[in-house]
């Protein structure tokens, strides 16, 4: 056991660590730094001048807060923000609603052709997203949904991948629970609501987060199905920094920093479930 002395804010801390643990921490810190590097670069770049960007300087000479002002003024970001938040939240709600019901049916209910239908569902995962743009667009036009919120929401309120993810998780819930619930006169819906969903919180939150990220980052689809600034989400605003023969990288990064703040906040609150969702393969204990 070795004792390390760390000074932080004028106070000295004595940390007792084994050498192996120390090395592990150093490696983890290095790994974290590498993973965070793009973000650090993004934030530093958001304070640079155009010349500093082209000169490839890592640290800005001075902090240019003005980039943020300029970036904010470049497009109606306030409106874009509200649109993105509204679209993302409603998409999550719809996605969870269809996802949980479908996943439960595939995981727990017996009906003819269950496996075949599930495989057909899975097969659609092989269809590249770009191929669906045109048919989806024609559908939206036919429904008269051009330049509306629902055009940006409804197509994403069902995701086969999310159904698959939830189904795998639901299948890990012991059958005994269902048998016990059935004895007590529980219906499928009650069982789903009171037992399956609470037990699967990590998976549900993971799906919500994936759905949020997908919706928050969507660019081409919203651009195609909207015509007015009033309906457009934040990613369309980010595009305004791409100009011919030069991208105003510093402004783009300032805007990108503003744009990812909500995602980071969302992640901070859901981080626990997110990591659980990714690492848990079944039910513990």
Partner 1 sequence: MRKTLFLIVALALVVGLVAACAPKATPTPQPTKAAPQPTPTKGEEMDPISKLDPSGQELLFWHVSTRKHEKALMEIIDGFNSSNPYGIKVVPEYAGYYGDIYKKILAGIAAGETPDLAVSYANQVAEYAKAGVIVPLDPYMNSKKYGFTEEEKKDFMWNLLEGDKRPEFGGQYLSFAHSRSMQVMYYNVDWLKKLGYDGPPKTWDEFKEMCVKATDPEKGTHGYAYSGSASLFATLVFTFGGDIVTKDNQKVAFNSEAGLKALQLLKDLFDSGCAYEVAERYGDQKDFANQKALFTFGSTAGLPYYRSAIESSEAGPFQWDVDAPPTAIGKPVVNVYGPSVAIFKSVPERQLAGWLFLKYWAEPKNVAKWAMTANYFPIRKSAIELPEMQEYMKKNPQYKKAFNLLPYGRMEPSVAGYQQIRGIIADMMKQVIEGADPQQALEAAAQQAQAVLDQNK
**Which positions lie near partner 1, rule CB under 8 A?**
49-52, 54-57, 74-75, 133-134, 137-138, 141, 146, 220, 223-224, 227-229, 236, 239-247
Cβ proximity to partner 1, 73 vs 194, nearer residue: 73
45 bridge partner residues: none
Cβ proximity to partner 1, 74 vs 93, nearer residue: 74
Q: How far is the CB of 48 from partner 1 (least distance, A)?
A: 10
Cβ proximity to partner 1, 136 vs 168, nearer residue: 136
Cβ proximity to partner 1, 21 vs 66, nearer residue: 66
Neighbours of 91 (CB within 10 A): 24
User: Could you tell me which residues come within 8 angstroms of residue 84 by beta carbon, excluding any fewer than 6 positions away?
Assistant: 215, 216, 233, 234, 235
Cβ proximity to partner 1, 54 vs 187, nearer residue: 54
Q: Is 47 helix (H, G, I), strand (E, B) or coil?
A: coil
Q: How far is the CB of 187 from partner 1 (least distance, A)?
A: 44
Cβ proximity to partner 1, 98 vs 139, nearer residue: 139
Q: How far is the CB of 258 from partner 1 (least distance, A)?
A: 17
Q: How far is the CB of 129 from partner 1 (least distance, A)?
A: 13
- If 0-12 CB within 10 Å is exposed, 13-18 middle and 19+ buried, where does residue 203 land? buried
C-alpha span between 210 and 84 (Å, rounded): 15
Cβ proximity to partner 1, 114 vs 141, nearer residue: 141
Give φ, ψ of 182 to 5 degrees.
-60, -40
Q: How far is the CB of 133 from partner 1 (least distance, A)?
A: 7
Report whether 225 contacts 137 (CB < 8 A): yes
Cβ proximity to partner 1, 85 vs 133, nearer residue: 133
C-alpha span between 117 and 38 (Å, rounded): 42
Q: How far is the CB of 160 from partner 1 (least distance, A)?
A: 23
In the chain, alpha helices (H): 19-45, 50-55, 66-74, 77-108, 114-123, 129-142, 149-153, 160-171, 175-183, 188-191, 197-199, 201-217, 220-225, 234-238, 249-279
User: Could you tell me which residues come within 8 angstroms of residue 157 by beta carbon, excluding any fewer than 6 positions away?
Assistant: 91, 94, 95, 97, 98
Q: How far is the CB of 210 from partner 1 (least distance, A)?
A: 25
- What is the token pair recorded at 263? 């995602």
Q: How far is the CB of 246 from partner 1 (least distance, A)?
A: 4
């Amino acid at each position: 056991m070795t004792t390390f002395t760390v000074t932080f804010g004028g106070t000295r801390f004595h940390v007792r660590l084994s050498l192996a643990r120390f090395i592990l921490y150093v490696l983890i810190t290095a790994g974290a730094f590498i993973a965070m590097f793009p973000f650090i670069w993004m934030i530093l770049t958001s304070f640079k001048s155009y010349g500093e960007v082209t000169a490839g300087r890592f640290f800005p000479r001075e902090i240019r807060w003005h980039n943020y002002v300029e970036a904010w003024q470049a497009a109606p970001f306030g409106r874009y923000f509200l649109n993105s938040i509204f679209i993302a939240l409603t998409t999550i709600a719809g996605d969870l609603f269809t996802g949980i019901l479908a996943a439960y049916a595939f995981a727990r209910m017996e009906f003819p052709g269950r496996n075949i239908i599930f495989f057909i569902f899975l097969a659609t995962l092989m269809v590249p997203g770009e191929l669906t743009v045109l048919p989806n667009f024609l559908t939206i036009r036919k429904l008269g949904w051009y330049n509306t919120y629902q055009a940006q929401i409804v197509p994403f309120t069902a995701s086969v991948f999310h159904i698959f993810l939830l189904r795998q998780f639901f299948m890990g819930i012991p059958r005994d629970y269902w048998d016990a619930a059935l004895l007590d006169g529980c219906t499928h819906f009650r069982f789903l609501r009171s037992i399956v969903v609470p037990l699967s919180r990590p998976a549900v939150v993971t799906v919500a987060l994936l759905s949020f990220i997908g919706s928050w980052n969507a660019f081409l689809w919203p651009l195609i199905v909207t015509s007015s600034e009033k309906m457009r989400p934040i990613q369309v605003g980010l595009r305004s920094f791409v100009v011919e023969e030069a991208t105003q990288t510093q402004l783009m990064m300032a805007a990108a920093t503003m744009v990812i703040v909500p995602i980071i906040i969302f992640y901070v609150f859901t981080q626990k479930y997110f990591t659980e969702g990714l690492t848990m393969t079944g039910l513990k204990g």
